[in-house]
Amino acid sequence: MTQITRIDTSARMSKIVKHNGVAYLCGQVGAGDTVTEQTQDCLARVDALLEKAGSSREHMLQAVIWLADMADFAEMNAVWDAWVPEGHAPARACGEAKLARDVLKVEIIVTAAVIDG
């Protein structure tokens, strides 16, 4: 039987779903006024969820990044590039989308391999 583990689940969503050694994180947004601040906070939240899932940055498989404005691509990438461990970049996509709230500039969705049960 396939086991699915849901962590921090509400009626709408789970923050983490684990299945077959893979952790799927819900989309993360961050606080702050600038793309840099929001990306830094967002990635700190990703770090916390990865740890809770039994994974880490080094075990990321895929990242999907949504920007409210593609003009912010270079600014977001400066933070992203400093955060991703060298040699451990995941498969990644980045696009522009209208985010859930007007103040949001970036949302990041990560999938990672689970390293501890």
CATH number at residue 72: 3.30.1330.40
| pLDDT at residue 117 greater than cutoff 90 | no
pTM > 0.85: yes
Chain centroid to CA 99: 15
* The total number of structural domains that make up the chain: 1
Residue 7 forms part of a structural domain? no
Domain membership flag for residue 17: no
pLDDT in the model for residue 20: 95
Written as one letter, the residue type at 8 is: D
Gap between the terminal Cα atoms of the chain: 16
- Reduce the DSSP state of residue 2 to 3 states and report it: coil
Residue 94: name the closest of 61, 111, 72, 113 by CA.
72
Q: Is residue 82 in a domain? A: yes
Mean pLDDT of 91-105: 97
Total Cβ atoms within 10 A of residue 99: 16
Three-state DSSP class for residue 33: coil
Domain region containing 101:
27-112
Is position 87 within any domain? yes
Q: Is there a domain that residue 52 lies in?
A: yes
**pLDDT tens digits along 18-71:** 999 999 999 999 999 999 999 999 999 999 999 999 999 999 999 999 999 999
Is 65 a domain residue? Answer: yes
Residue 99 forms part of a structural domain: yes
Q: 56, exposed or middle or buried, with CB in 10 Å at 0-12, 13-18, 19+?
A: middle
pLDDT band, very low/low/confident/very high, at 2 (cuts 50, 70, 90): confident
pLDDT band at 95 (very low <50, low <70, confident <90, very high): very high
